[in-house]
């Protein structure tokens, strides 16, 4: 066979393959149609349309009806299919679709949907577990079974793609939820923990996750590019009129106790909720109002809190919501720390510390929100806010510093230190915003004004007995009182004009002006032994100054929204003028900052369930006023802080690229994100270590700081286990630059992370929740004398529950943690098991008696490692260990039928 013949055959084969490919592509079918109400023939938008293979009812395609009710399903093979249309409030519509080579385009015409007529005790309406409505993922709560009287937190843990973290934060497909709403409105001052632990899961009809537009954009209908990741809980209609709540009391060994009550009264638009509780454990029944649910694992904590939330409509045009909360936290904390200070040229030092402290923090918060709709085109919103906080603390500490360049391994410093302080802070703010939109809805104008006032008074008495061994042995005593009185006031005005250009384009112009003024008086006085008072004024640390800041910011934005993509471009600028007057030295610091603030957002929709998003922006960050002050402050006997009036502002450039795919039918969710940021003129602290171990710290501008972050999230059902498996993996790379002993040092931190979670009902009697996470860190300093630092952390935690008969349950929480960074002699593995037995009481099982052994093995501890530019710290904090507790909880509810 000649070469020419072989080439002809290859070309013929290639042409044949191309022809087959063309014919195959050309034979892709499509189904189109339009949905309408069978009574008034109104177009139905956002209905879910599904296509299944007729042979085995397996899923083929899914879409959502557009604004005019039209829909299309593309790229379909030939065959017989079942078309199914689902829409809330309408009967399910089903018909057969046949695609042949002679009829690849099937026009279903107008499909008239019949209204669902509800007959008492005769009609059961079923809904798909997950529905995609444009950018919204909607979960039907009834498809995810929770136990009797369980709260919303238990429901969210069952939803594919949703994760409830130990610190109370909620994530959807790896992204933090920024606000939680109930029926589209805030609940208990936007407190995530209150929503998770107050509302019963059985009251929830739907859970929706979406990117909420700004409140101005929601009212005007004109997009402005602002999005907030939101989780909204919709209450069932038959749960919107009635009273429900929970009360509990508990007592146990080691003087543990708990008491709490939750009372809620809903009547259509009117909602009144009250929570009161107190405990020295971390039981969720008694910590719904805690600001940070994880804080009780950091010392022995006693929480007392209470609050009331009210929401109503005053007439047809005014809606109000607001409330009052009080929290008090008392903590006994004992810590042991080992800190390594990194310096080049073999000058690393090591500090061992032991401390014991008491703190008492109280906080009062009043919030109110009133929205008045004068007519369809004019709205006024007023939001006042008041906050008052008090803090008292006492701490005693012993420390020793070893190492250094001169005599490595020898003791350089020992100290005994204690401090006693108190502070009070008052905040008051009010925001008013008026929005007007044109009669045709194509133009809008909003004017907003914010006023803010802050006052803080702090007093701290510090005593330290210091023994320095290098370069010459000597003893020094630090005994002083530091008093700070500071006030700050701010007024800000925003004016925004938005307009539609055609049907799919919009233009937005914005200008804002902010004026801020403040005063600060810092007095540091040494202790006079003769007069037994703090009379010896330290002029190097005392200061009095006032400041004025004026900001001008303007921008113009353009947005184009098409069926397949959305593009948002913003060009902005910011001008800041800062004047700082030192009232003691009669000197001024004047700074003028000018920044260009671009922003680009782009989203491409491959289909109704798959999209790609890109974001880029620049954010200016100005130095803090305290950093600009040319003063010296003694943080403690080893660290002295100096100001730097020559600081420049930081420019933070950041971008992100994310891909998301959500298959509602198969309940599979996949997302991937890649992000990066770079800081220009980053502010870091230059540290100089003296021969005696004292560190002089001063903020400076450096370049070379950036980070790269990537993660993937995957959630899919496991039919054999009747559950959903969620998997997350990520990698972080962070580089920082600082100056140590007058030498540039780069810190590079690589972190590999993985997390997996599973919640399943193995049988009607046995359920299991299981999650695990692991992270590997590699830290390098260049140049530095220390080797690369590597450590691994991970834990496996879960809950198992077994039901005996109709009223008994055996359950246990478990957690096994591992930390390789624990020093020699420490405990790397920490197993923790907390078994319990419960007995449900009364006919409706509204009562529960529980006997629980917390930390059966008496192994609970809190180990933590933190790193920064020149410090690696390993910290061990005391926490609540084994106790036995008996508790009684009563759940009550009464709803109108």
Q: Give residue 429's pLDDT.
A: 97
Q: Is 268 exposed, middle or buried (0-12, 13-18, 19+ CB in 10 A)?
A: exposed
Whether the Cβ atoms of residue 264 and residue 240 lie closer than 8 Å to each other? no
- What are the residues facing 187 on neighbouring strands? none
Considering only residues 732 and 563, tell me which one the structure prediction assigns the higher pLDDT: 732
3-class DSSP assignment, residue 56: coil
Task: Read off the pLDDT of each residue in 527-549 and give the average, rounded to a whole number.
Answer: 90
- DSSP-assigned letters across all residues of 146-203: --TT-BHHHHHTTSTTEEE-TTS-EEETTEE--EEEETTEESTTT-HHHHHHHSBGGG
- Cα(50)–Cα(87) distance, rounded to whole angstroms? 11
Question: Considering the chain, what is the average pLDDT of its residues?
Answer: 85
Considering only residues 647 and 345, tell me which one the structure prediction assigns the higher pLDDT: 647
Which two three-digit tokens encode residue 51? 């296509």
Residues with Cβ < 8 Å from 35, sequence gap 6 or more? 43, 44, 47, 65, 69, 70, 71, 85, 87, 110, 111, 113
Would you say residue 12 has pLDDT above 50? Answer: no
Cα dist. 623→20, 44, 558, 682 in Å?
65, 54, 31, 10
Q: How far is CA 66 from the centre of its chain?
A: 32
Report the chain's C-alpha Rg in angstroms: 32
Phi then psi for residue 194, to 5 deg, are: -65, -40
Q: Is 170 exposed, middle or buried (0-12, 13-18, 19+ CB in 10 A)?
A: buried
- Cα(856)–Cα(814) distance, rounded to whole angstroms? 10
3-class DSSP assignment, residue 428: strand
Would you say residue 824 has pLDDT above 60? Answer: no
Residues with Cβ < 8 Å from 858, sequence gap 6 or more? 881, 882
Q: Give residue 124's pLDDT.
A: 40
Eight-class DSSP state of 16:
H
In the block, residue with structure tokens 């992204």: 175
Identify the sign of the CA torsion 834, 840, 844, 846. Answer: negative
- Cα(462)–Cα(59) distance, rounded to whole angstroms? 70
In terms of average pLDDT, the best of 63-67, 73-77, 688-692, 885-889 is: 885-889
- Cα(508)–Cα(224) distance, rounded to whole angstroms? 7
Which two three-digit tokens encode residue 475? 């003893």
Q: How does pLDDT run across 555-567, given as a tens digit for each residue?
A: 999 999 998 899 9
3-class DSSP assignment, residue 219: helix
E strands, 624-765, are: 632-636, 639-642, 650-663, 668-680, 682-689, 695-702, 705-718, 723-740, 743-761
- Cα(864)–Cα(660) distance, rounded to whole angstroms? 34
Q: Give residue 10's pLDDT.
A: 44
E strands, 538-584, are: 543-561, 565-582
Eight-class DSSP state of 273:
E
Closest CA to 587 of 534, 648, 556, 629: 629
- Residue 189's region, left for phi above 0, alpha for psi from -120 to 50, else beta, is left
Which two three-digit tokens encode residue 607? 């289909």
Task: Read off the pLDDT of each residue in 476-490 and give the average, rounded to a whole number.
Answer: 93
Please report which confidence band the pLDDT of residue 18 belongs to, taking 50, 70 and 90 as the band edges.
very low
Q: How does pLDDT run across 651-674, given as a tens digit for each residue?
A: 999 999 999 998 876 778 899 999
Q: Give residue 9's pLDDT.
A: 47
| Terminal Cα-to-Cα distance of the chain (whole angstroms) | 88
Which two three-digit tokens encode residue 532? 């037994």
- Residue 174's region, left for phi above 0, alpha for psi from -120 to 50, else beta, is left
User: Which has the minimum average pLDDT: 146-155, 350-359, 366-375?
Assistant: 146-155
Q: Give residue 59's pLDDT.
A: 65
Peptide bond into 425 cis (omega under 30): no
Considering only residues 215 and 429, tell me which one the structure prediction assigns the higher pLDDT: 429
User: Which has the minimum average pLDDT: 533-537, 538-542, 720-724?
Assistant: 720-724
- Cα(192)–Cα(197) distance, rounded to whole angstroms? 9
Q: Give residue 132's pLDDT.
A: 77
In terms of average pLDDT, the best of 280-294, 331-345, 822-836 is: 331-345
Q: Give residue 188's pLDDT.
A: 74
Which two three-digit tokens encode residue 600? 């680009």
Peptide bond into 783 cis (omega under 30): yes
Q: How does pLDDT run across 593-616, given as a tens digit for each residue?
A: 999 999 999 999 988 788 999 999
- Cα(464)–Cα(635) distance, rounded to whole angstroms? 12
- DSSP-assigned letters across all residues of 476-531: EEEEEEEEEEEEEEEEEEEEEEEEEETTTEEEEEEEEEEEEEEEEEEEEEEEETTT
Whether the Cβ atoms of residue 890 and residue 248 lie closer than 8 Å to each other? yes
Q: How does pLDDT run across 486-515, given as a tens digit for each residue?
A: 999 999 999 999 999 988 899 999 999 999
Q: How does pLDDT run across 81-102, given as a tens digit for each residue?
A: 888 888 877 888 888 888 888 7
In the block, residue with structure tokens 């795919």: 661
- Cα(369)–Cα(657) distance, rounded to whole angstroms? 36
> What length is written for the chain?
897
Eight-class DSSP state of 114:
P
- What are the residues facing 467 on neighbouring strands? 414, 475
Considering only residues 20 and 863, tell me which one the structure prediction assigns the higher pLDDT: 863
E strands, 54-178, are: 59-64, 70-76, 79-86, 93-99, 105-113, 130-133, 136-140, 162-164, 170-172, 175-176
Which two three-digit tokens encode residue 803? 């039901």
Please report which confidence band the pLDDT of residue 119 belongs to, taking 50, 70 and 90 as the band edges.
very low
In the block, residue with structure tokens 């020295």: 280
- Cα(510)–Cα(836) distance, rounded to whole angstroms? 58
Would you say residue 738 has pLDDT above 70? Answer: yes
- Cα(113)–Cα(717) distance, rounded to whole angstroms? 31
Q: How does pLDDT run across 134-166, given as a tens digit for each residue?
A: 778 888 888 887 877 888 888 888 888 888 877
3-class DSSP assignment, residue 621: strand
Q: Give residue 283's pLDDT.
A: 64
Q: 474-501 and 505-528 as β-strands: parallel, antiparallel, unpaired?
A: antiparallel
Q: Give residue 16's pLDDT.
A: 41
- Cα(844)–Cα(841) distance, rounded to whole angstroms? 8
Closest CA to 130 of 594, 659, 608, 587: 608
Residues with Cβ < 8 Å from 720, sequence gap 6 or more? none
* CA-CA-CA-CA dihedral for 654, 657, 663, 664, to nearest 10: 20
Q: Give residue 465's pLDDT.
A: 92
Q: Give residue 692's pLDDT.
A: 82
- Cα(563)–Cα(68) distance, rounded to whole angstroms? 13
Q: 695-702 and 639-642 as β-strands: parallel, antiparallel, unpaired?
A: parallel
Whether the Cβ atoms of residue 471 and residue 406 lie closer than 8 Å to each other? yes
């Amino acid at each position: 066979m000649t070469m020419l013949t072989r080439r002809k055959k290859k070309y013929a084969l290639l042409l044949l393959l191309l022809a087959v490919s063309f014919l195959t592509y050309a034979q892709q079918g499509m189904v189109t149609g339009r949905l309408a109400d069978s009574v008034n023939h109104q177009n139905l938008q956002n209905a879910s349309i599904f296509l299944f293979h007729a042979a085995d009812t397996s899923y083929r395609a899914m879409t959502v009806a557009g604004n005019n009710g039209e829909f299309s399903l593309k790229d379909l093979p030939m065959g017989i299919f079942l078309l199914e249309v689902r829409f809330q409030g309408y009967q399910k519509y089903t018909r057969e679709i046949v695609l042949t080579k002679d009829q690849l385009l099937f026009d279903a015409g107008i499909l008239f949907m019949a209204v669902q007529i509800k007959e008492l005790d005769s009609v059961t309406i079923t809904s798909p577990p997950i529905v995609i409505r444009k950018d919204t993922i909607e979960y039907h709560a009834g498809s995810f079974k929770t136990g009797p009287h369980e709260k919303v937190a238990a429901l969210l843990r069952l939803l594919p793609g949703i994760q409830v973290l130990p610190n109370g934060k909620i994530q959807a497909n790896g992204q933090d939820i920024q606000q939680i709403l109930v029926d589209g409105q805030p609940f208990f001052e936007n407190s995530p923990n209150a929503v998770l632990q107050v509302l019963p899961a059985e009251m929830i009809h739907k859970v929706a996750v979406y990117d909420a537009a700004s409140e101005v954009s929601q009212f005007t209908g004109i997009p402005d590019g602002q999005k907030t990741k939101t989780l909204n809980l919709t209450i069932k209609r038959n749960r919107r009129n009635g009273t429900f709540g929970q009360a509990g009391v508990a007592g146990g060994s080691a003087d543990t106790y708990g008491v709490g009550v939750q009372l809620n009264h809903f009547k259509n638009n009117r909602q009144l909720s009250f929570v009161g509780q107190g405990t020295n454990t971390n039981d969720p029944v008694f910590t719904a109002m805690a600001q940070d649910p994880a804080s009780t694992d950091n010392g022995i904590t006693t929480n007392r809190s209470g609050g009331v939330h009210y929401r109503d409509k005053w007439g047809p045009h005014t809606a109000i919501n607001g409330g009052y909360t009080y929290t008090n936290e008392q903590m006994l904390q004992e810590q042991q720390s080992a800190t390594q200070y990194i310096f080049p040229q073999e000058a690393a030092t090591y500090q061992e510390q032991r401390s014991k402290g008491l703190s008492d923090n109280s906080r009062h918060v009043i919030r109110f929100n009133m929205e008045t709709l004068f007519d369809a085109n004019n709205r006024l919103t007023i939001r006042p806010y008041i906050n008052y906080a008090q803090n008292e603390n006492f701490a005693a500490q012993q420390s020793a510093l070893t190492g250094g360049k001169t005599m490595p391994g020898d003791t350089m410093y020992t100290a005994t230190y204690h401090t006693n302080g108190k502070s009070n802070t008052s905040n008051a703010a009010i925001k008013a915003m008026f929005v007007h939109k044109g009669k045709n809805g194509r133009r809008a104008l909003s004017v907003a004004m914010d006023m803010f006032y802050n006052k803080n008074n702090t007093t701290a008495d510090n005593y330290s007995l210091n023994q320095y061994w290098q370069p010459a042995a000597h003893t020094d005593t630090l005994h002083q009182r530091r008093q700070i009185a500071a006030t700050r006031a701010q007024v800000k005005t925003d004016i925004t004009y938005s307009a539609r250009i055609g049907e799919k384009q919009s233009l937005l112009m914005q200008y804002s002006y902010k004026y801020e003024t403040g005063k600060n008086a810092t007095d540091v006085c040494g202790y006079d032994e003769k007069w037994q008072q703090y009379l010896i004024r330290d002029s190097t640390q005392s200061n009095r100054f006032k400041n004025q800041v004026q900001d001008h910011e303007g921008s113009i934005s353009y947005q184009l929204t098409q069926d397949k993509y959305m593009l948002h471009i913003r060009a902005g600028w910011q001008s800041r003028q800062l004047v700082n007057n030192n009232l003691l030295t009669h000197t001024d610091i004047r700074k003028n900052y000018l920044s260009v603030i671009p922003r680009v957002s782009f989203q491409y929709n491959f289909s109704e369930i798959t999209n790609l998003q890109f974001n880029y922006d620049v954010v200016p960050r100005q130095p803090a006023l305290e950093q600009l002050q040319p003063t010296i402050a003694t943080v403690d006997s080893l660290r002295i802080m100096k100001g730097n009036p020559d600081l420049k502002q930081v420019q933070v450039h950041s971008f992100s690229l994310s891909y998301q795919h959500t298959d509602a039918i198969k309940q599979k969710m996949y997302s991937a994100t890649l992000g990066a940021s770079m800081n220009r003129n980053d502010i870091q602290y230059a540290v100089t270590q003296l021969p005696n171990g004292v560190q002089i710290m001063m903020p400076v501008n450096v370049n070379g700081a950036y980070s790269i972050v990537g993660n993937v999230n995957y959630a899919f059902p496991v039919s054999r286990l009747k559950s959903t498996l969620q998997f997350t993996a990520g990698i972080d790379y962070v580089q920082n630059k600082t100056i140590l002993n007058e030498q540039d040092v780069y810190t590079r931190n690589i972190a590999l992370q993985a997390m997996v979670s599973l919640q399943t009902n193995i049988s009607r009697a046995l359920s299991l929740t299981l999650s695990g996470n692991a992270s590997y860190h590699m830290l390098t300093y260049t140049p530095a004398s220390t080797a690369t630092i590597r450590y691994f952390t991970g834990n496996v935690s879960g809950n198992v529950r077994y039901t005996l008969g109709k009223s008994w349950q055996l359950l246990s929480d478990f957690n096994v943690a591992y930390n390789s960074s624990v020093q020699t002699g420490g405990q790397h593995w920490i197993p923790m098991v907390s078994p319990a037995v419960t007995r449900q009481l009364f006919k409706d099982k509204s009562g529960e008696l529980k006997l629980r052994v917390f930390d059966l093995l008496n192994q609970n501890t809190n180990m933590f490692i933190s790193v920064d530019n020149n410090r690696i710290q390993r910290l061990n904090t005391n926490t609540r260990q084994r106790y036995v507790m008996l508790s009684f909880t009563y759940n009550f509810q009464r709803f109108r039928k």
